A and B are shown apart, each in its own frame.
Chain A
Amino acid sequence: MHSKQDNMRRTSPLWFVLFLLCASFSQADTHTDTTVELVLSGEKSYYRKAALRIENVVNATHPNTRFRLTTADQTNWPTANSNLLVAVGSNACKQAMQRADKIPLLCTFLPSSTYWNTLEKSGRATSAPATSAVFFDQPMSRYFALIKLVAPKAEKLGTAVGPQSTQLLPRIEQQAQQYQLQLHQTELDTTTSHHKALSPIVAASDLFLVNPDKAELNKSVAKTLLHLSIRQRIPVIAYSGSYVNAGALAAIYSTPENIGRDAGELVSQWLDSPGQPLPTARYPNYFTIKSNPNVARSLGIKLPGDRRLENAVKQAMDTAPNPGQQR
């Protein structure tokens, strides 16, 4: 009884959104027959934020588009009249690849590594025009652009990679070389002593770049790393707002709104010419920079402000190609 009430409470906002969407679809149905099915990995708010952003962006240009919102654990999708399936989150993407091989699929709000692994495992042709993605991780160049902005004098860059992020290492090395930074790196896993592994790297670096890996590894490394960085007075460039809150100097990342906007624009673009294949999978065009003024002050670093940093990174990146097409 108790769990039933909890379920009702949890699902009621979702049903309200679904009702609104259905209402809008029923109005749009009189003008067009294009149906976009939004499949969320779960009921987390950031999935909903991303989905709403997609809907808003699409509606701005294609008001007659009908949206159908559902979650991956439901069994009533995909519907037969869906024209496009937008999977929000890793789980939704995996499910969609298994269930809807005939419908164009846009995966979004998932790490690039996950997308490529899922795609590979699903047997769906990698070059299939009907499948694309907007990741939420950032191209390595953006990190290095930011590094240059916040620590222009840094010469030695420390970093660590885990089982998942080890594939980023070549790009890191490439970017470090490009920006003339001496790279000190180490490999971590859940069994090694992070303190022992990280202490010499941090001690030897002017700045440390954190790479996202498995969640448990991320959590256990974060505290040790931040503690060492404070002690050693080494700024940390991270990949999430939470990292900045915890003590990293700055982070570059895409919010659900950033990704929703990007995915919405991609859907709109596809709706303009429905017969066309979907654009190739890519990193998000929109991103957010967040810095920690207290940490900056502690480290004696003067930062221009987050918006200005964003703009500076954008300018630096405009010239650089989007590496999301690469695997």
Chain B
Amino acid sequence: MKGFVNMNIGMRFTLAAALPLVLVTALLTAYLVQARHQDSQKQFEQAGKISTQFLGSSAELELYAGNREQLAFLANNLNFPNLSGVSFLSEDRLPLATSNGFIVPDSLLQMRFLSKHQDEQLLYLQQPVFLTELDVSDYSEGDTSERRVIGWVIAGFDTTDIHRQQQAIVMTGVGLGIAGLIIAGLLALFLGRTIVNPVLQLTKTVKSMEAGNLEARAQQTSTVELARLAQGINLLAKSVAEGRSNLEGKVRQATAKLERALQDLREKNSELHQARETAEAANQAKSDFLARMSHELRTPITAIQGFTRLLHDAELGDAERNYCTIINQSSSQLLNLIDDILAYSRLQANAITLETEPFHLIETLEQSVRQQALSARDKKLELILDISPEVPGMVVGDHFRVSQILINLITNAVKFTNTGYVRATVSATPREDEYSDLCIIISDTGIGIPEDRRNNLFDAFSQVDTSITRRYGGTGLGLSIVKSLLELMGGSIRLDSSEGMGTVFHIELTLPTTAVEKDPPNLDARIGLLDKHDLSRQAVTHSLCRFSAELVTVDTLESLKGTPLDALVVNLPSSVDCHINYQYLDQIQKTCNVPLLILSAEPESCRRDYCQQQFQTMKVLDKPATQLSLHRALKQLLERRPDELVVSAVGQKLLGGLNILIAEDNRFTREFLKLLLSREGAYCVTARNGVEAVAACDKDKFDIMLVDIHMPEKSGVETVRAIRSGTSANSMTPIITITADVLQQEKLALKEAGITELLFKPVDEEQLLRQILRYCRPDIDPTSPLPSKKLSDEVPVREFIEEVKRLVSQAADACQQDRMEDAGDPVHQLKGIAGIFKLPELEVKVAILHRAIKNQRHSQAMTALEELQVECERLESDNSED
């Protein structure tokens, strides 16, 4: 149907004319063939019937007399067309005579009323033979006598001829039909062309006119209607051509005027362009200068901060420690100022390109808010981060810029709030197109913004008034940067404020979501939450909901009486002094004898007091606590692992609060790494092989994983592959693989498996810490100096030498027994630990041994082993002398 609609008129008309003609021709042909076929059959049967009747009449007297001889003579001396044979039956259907070779079908013999029977070759006709009577009376009164059957005649007629004739009829019919169809088709084509060609001619003329050729004219046709149409089109074309000619004249005049105006405009534009370029160049120069200067300023300040922190960790008096704190705060402020200037200048220069990579939104939010925890603590402000359960874990975007926006706003909020709280609320509306509409609200109970200053608050260098600048500091660039960044991300920001009551910033931002980051494993326990602050309680409840099936939230201690709990989370108010909280905890201990998780914003000294007073099983976390740290701390409390019940120094140490998996088969290296990372505040889970590492991933959520490549049971590549393809909460966790040696194909396999970084043994402590910070603490300047105290200083050398000796011995045994392949593993481990104590001779000998084993050089390996054993003895004796 669609095809018919799309046809041109010629095809349609031809089809419309041809279809009935073809149909009628086909039907007529079929009917004629059928009729002729039937007629020939009827004629054949009629002729047979007449012949049979005639035979009956001829044999009447013989049948009447039962004269078999005469009947046989008759049967064998017949010369009728197509007659194949005949059989005469008596009145009681007994055969009297039959033509030679003629066999009457049994069905016909048994059925006296069957007048016709046909098989493949013969048509059999059966007729009764009546005794005909002669009316010999001149004056008969009427014929009342009944006809009497005196016998039967069955004649068989050869159907070969009639079949041939019927075939000829069909062939002739089909031939005539085809000829008819061809004629009908040609006729339809001719009719179609006759009628449609003038129409097509008209169409062509109209198309030509459409194309602009108004000189085109339609040809006159013999059809009256079409001739009138052609005449009309010609008249129309003529009038249009005249009209166009007039218009063209007017347009030419107008164009000349326009061209003159344009020329003027071009000259003006050129001048403007020149002016703009000059201005932009000046602006660019300014931005370049700012960026360069900011960078130049930033580098020394970062150094100042790093060294101040190192100084702070050193053994100092209280006064010196206070100076360090002041230096640190001042440099941080200065650094923030420079960061703002740098960001602003880059925004102005359009030099910011947003990253589009998957990042963990919740962790980014948590880290951004937690950065202001110290500032909030100092002002005794309640810092609340409330993340609704529907907020997606992973999104795609620029996590650094998102973080920058939040830090700017929360810093502002903390800065301009003296009492009360600063609250960041994050909610999300998931969409069908794998995007999520985020709504971030930063509210505070600060000084607020007067209505007349709100409009230009987002302008650069704008603050509420100069007194504010003097009182609170700042460049006035923060909100401008926030707004620009949000606009760059396609988001928006608005504010509500009332002077003296506080300010609320509403951010709306749409980000694509990616693979769903699973919540931490559910804790099968009844958890209580005691929090007097409504907003804070709501925020912690949202966090706990993600992994706690049973949650009891109360605002007073009395409400908890008699409530069976497995653990209790207590959110201590930030505005209350340490000793009051101490009393409060004492009351809690008396009321509920369950493990406690304390969320506190108090300084380290207070926390130590809690621990020293030996409260029941307890753990303390900084406020606002991350979801992951909440989960981990509760898990530890529920499992009652006393050795790990240390007071966390979150926020104080480099890797504070991080949960790290160490998968390493060599005990010495494993312990070394654990010691290194634990010292920096990380919580470490160790695995001896790949299988244990994968199992650990199913039980816990890690911030980063260190995986050795050469491990028994499951290699590092297989382990990484299993973790990445698994369904655990760690499938997206950064993985740093560590190896002493790696082949090119192993390197490719590791990349394909999805490692994050590859480090080589011997492990460089600073390099390892920098890599961990890069992925887990993006807020820390990567160029800032790290603690100079090497771990190797703390590890007993004796243990190290013992481990070296053990590995050398293993390798020597294997080589002596011609099992070079078994020596590979201990030598590989040896290479991994050899560099820890920076002993060049040992390292060189281990390298020689490693190469010999690798190249299957047995004698070289034996020599290297002997040298190593000598070196070990030498080291041992040196160490004993020390």
> Are both chains from one complex?
yes
Given known pairs A219-B134, A219-B145, A222-B133, the reply for A46 and B139 (CB within 8 Å) is: yes
Does any Cβ of A come within 8 Å of B135's Cβ? yes
Given known pairs A195-B64, A219-B145, A227-B61, the reply for A243 and B133 (CB within 8 Å) is: no
Say which one of A166-174, A234-242, A276-284, A317-325 lies at the interface with B.
A234-242
Partner of A241, one of B133, B134, B138, B144: B138
Does any Cβ of B come within 8 Å of A82's Cβ? no
Within 8 A of B (CB), among A196-244: 210, 212, 215-216, 218-220, 222-224, 226-227, 238, 240-243
Contacts of A212 in B (CB 8 A): 137
Q: In the complex, A221→B715 CA distance in Å?
A: 126
Contact A219 B64 (CB under 8 A): no
Q: In the complex, A212→B136 CA distance in Å?
A: 9
Interface flags, A242-257, vs B, CB<8A=1, else 0: 1100101000010100
The residue in chain A whose Cβ has the minimal distance to the Cβ of B140 is A215
Does any Cβ of A come within 8 Å of B131's Cβ? yes
Does any Cβ of A come within 8 Å of B65's Cβ? yes
Contacts of B322 in A (CB 8 A): none
Q: In the complex, A220→B147 CA distance in Å?
A: 11
Contacts of A216 in B (CB 8 A): 144-145
Contact A240 B134 (CB under 8 A): no
Interface flags, A51-83, vs B, CB<8A=1, else 0: 000000000000000000000000000000000
Q: How far is the CB of A149 from chain B (nearest CB, A)?
A: 21
Contact B141 A215 (CB under 8 A): yes
Q: In the complex, A249→B132 CA distance in Å?
A: 21
Residue tally, chain A, CB below 8 Å to B: 27
Q: In the complex, A223→B132 CA distance in Å?
A: 8
Q: In the complex, A212→B139 CA distance in Å?
A: 12
Q: In the complex, A238→B138 CA distance in Å?
A: 11
Interface size class of B (residues with CB under 8 A): 10 to 19
Residue with the greatest number of chain A CB neighbours at <10 A, chosen from B65, B135, B136, B145: B136
Does any Cβ of B come within 8 Å of A2's Cβ? no
Partner of B136, one of A109, A195, A222: A222
Does any Cβ of B come within 8 Å of A9's Cβ? no
Contact B138 A215 (CB under 8 A): no
Contact B136 A238 (CB under 8 A): yes
The residue in chain B whose Cβ has the minimal distance to the Cβ of A136 is B139
Interface flags, B178-193, vs A, CB<8A=1, else 0: 0000000000000000
Contact B137 A246 (CB under 8 A): no
Contacts of A219 in B (CB 8 A): 133-137, 145
Contacts of A302 in B (CB 8 A): none
Contacts of A241 in B (CB 8 A): 138
Contact A246 B134 (CB under 8 A): yes
Q: In the complex, A246→B132 CA distance in Å?
A: 13
The residue in chain A whose Cβ has the minimal distance to the Cβ of B133 is A219
Q: How far is the CB of B282 from chain A (nearest CB, A)?
A: 127
Contact A240 B131 (CB under 8 A): no
Q: In the complex, A215→B141 CA distance in Å?
A: 9
Contact B65 A246 (CB under 8 A): no
Contact A215 B137 (CB under 8 A): yes
Within 8 A of A (CB), among B91-149: 131-141, 144-145
Contacts of A327 in B (CB 8 A): none
Q: In the complex, A136→B139 CA distance in Å?
A: 10
Q: In the complex, A255→B139 CA distance in Å?
A: 10
Q: In the complex, A246→B65 CA distance in Å?
A: 20
Contacts of B145 in A (CB 8 A): 216, 219-220
Q: How far is the CB of B148 from chain A (nearest CB, A)?
A: 9
Q: How far is the CB of A197 from chain B (nearest CB, A)?
A: 12
Q: In the complex, A210→B145 CA distance in Å?
A: 20
Partner of A242, one of B131, B137, B141, B144: B137
Q: In the complex, A253→B138 CA distance in Å?
A: 9
Within 8 A of B (CB), among A20-45: 42, 44
Contacts of A195 in B (CB 8 A): 61, 64-65
Residue with the greatest number of chain A CB neighbours at <10 A, chosen from B61, B133, B140: B133
Contact B138 A220 (CB under 8 A): no
Q: In the complex, A210→B137 CA distance in Å?
A: 12
Q: In the complex, A205→B610 CA distance in Å?
A: 166
Q: In the complex, A238→B135 CA distance in Å?
A: 13
Q: In the complex, A173→B47 CA distance in Å?
A: 52
Contacts of B132 in A (CB 8 A): 223
Q: In the complex, A136→B145 CA distance in Å?
A: 24
Q: In the complex, A64→B141 CA distance in Å?
A: 34
Q: In the complex, A227→B61 CA distance in Å?
A: 8
Contacts of A224 in B (CB 8 A): 61, 64
Contacts of A42 in B (CB 8 A): 141
Q: In the complex, A42→B138 CA distance in Å?
A: 15
Q: In the complex, A46→B136 CA distance in Å?
A: 16
Q: In the complex, A213→B67 CA distance in Å?
A: 28
Q: In the complex, A220→B145 CA distance in Å?
A: 10
Q: In the complex, A222→B65 CA distance in Å?
A: 15
The residue in chain A whose Cβ has the minimal distance to the Cβ of B65 is A195
Q: How far is the CB of B663 from chain A (nearest CB, A)?
A: 119
Partner of A223, one of B134, B138, B140, B141: B134
Q: In the complex, A246→B141 CA distance in Å?
A: 19
Q: In the complex, A253→B136 CA distance in Å?
A: 12
Interface flags, A286-307, vs B, CB<8A=1, else 0: 0000000000000000000000
Contact B64 A240 (CB under 8 A): no
Residue with the greatest number of chain B CB neighbours at <10 A, chosen from A42, A219, A240, A248: A219
The residue in chain B whose Cβ has the minimal distance to the Cβ of A228 is B61
The residue in chain B whose Cβ has the minimal distance to the Cβ of A210 is B136
Q: How far is the CB of B132 from chain A (nearest CB, A)?
A: 6
Interface flags, B51-64, vs A, CB<8A=1, else 0: 00000000001001
Q: How far is the CB of A158 from chain B (nearest CB, A)?
A: 17
Task: Known A-B contacts: A215-B140, A240-B136, A240-B138. Give 10 more (CB < 8 A).
Answer: A44-B139, A215-B137, A219-B133, A220-B133, A220-B145, A223-B131, A223-B133, A242-B137, A242-B138, A243-B136
A interface residues with partner B (beta carbon < 8 Å): 42, 44, 46, 109, 136, 195, 210, 212, 215-216, 218-220, 222-224, 226-227, 238, 240-243, 246, 248, 253, 255
Interchain residue pairs with CB less than 8 A apart (22): A46-B138, A195-B64, A195-B65, A210-B136, A212-B137, A215-B141, A216-B145, A219-B133, A220-B131, A222-B133, A222-B134, A222-B136, A223-B132, A224-B64, A226-B134, A238-B136, A240-B136, A240-B137, A240-B138, A242-B137, A246-B134, A253-B138
Closest 7 A/B residue pairs (Cβ):
A219-B133, A222-B134, A243-B136, A222-B136, A240-B138, A242-B136, A246-B134
